Amino acid sequence: MKPYSGGDLPLEQECHKKRLSRARKSVEFAFGILTSKWRILNKSVDKNESLVDDIIKCVCILHNTVIDIDGVQINLTEATWKQQGLVWYRAGRHGTGAKTVRNIFAVYFQSNPLSLIE
């Protein structure tokens, strides 16, 4: 999801931008943990969509099982997948549907604030 751009944003859009940034950091951190353990995620997976979906589910199940057995052990610096030059593929410009979803989230985030936002 693309954040709102610009410096002087209305409060609703600024709140959305901060929440989206916080979520992105959490996802990147979790993905960094996964790529450090599961080698298949260290390269582009050129398989059909169904198989990729199954791979992701398996990795998540294995990851959670390891945490349940061994506990959380975090020894990461910057997300390792970023250092390896993996890139996200973007499907192109998004239409009004994506903007509508972003606006709905902005209203929701403003109506349901977090206790602490960095």
| Tokens coding 50 | 């169904």
Long-range contacts of 58-65 (CB under 8 A, 24+ apart): 59/34, 60/34, 62/38, 63/33, 63/34, 63/37, 63/38
Tens of pLDDT, residues 31-50: 888 888 888 888 887 888 88
**Stated pTM of the model:** 0.55
Q: 41 and 80 in contact (C-beta within 8 Å)?
A: no
Q: By CB neighbour count within 10 A (0-12 exposed, 13-18 middle, 19+ buried), where does 66 fall?
A: middle
Is residue 91 over pLDDT 80? Answer: no
